Amino acid sequence: MIDFEAANLARDARLRWRVLRLLDVFKPVSPTGLQIKDALESAAGKDRLEDEQHLIKLLTDLGNGGYALIVDTRTLRREELTLGFMNCSITHKGTSFVARCSPPDPLIDDGRIVKQRLTTGN
pLDDT digits (tens, 9 = 90+) for 31-75: 999 999 999 888 767 888 888 999 999 999 999 999 999 999 999
Enclosing H/E stretch for 65: none
Report the number of distinct structural domains present in the chain: 1
| 108 inside domain | no
| 41 inside domain | yes
CATH number of residue 69's parent domain: 1.10.10.10
Residue numbers of the domain that contains 13: 4-98
Instruction: Indicate the pTM of the whole model.
Output: 0.85
Q: Render 32-61 in DSSP notation, one character per residue.
A: BHHHHHHHHHHS--S----SHHHHHHHHHH
pLDDT band at 115 (very low <50, low <70, confident <90, very high): low
Q: Half-sphere exposure of residue 118, counting CA atoms within 13 Å on the CB side?
A: 1
Residue 121 has a pLDDT of 54
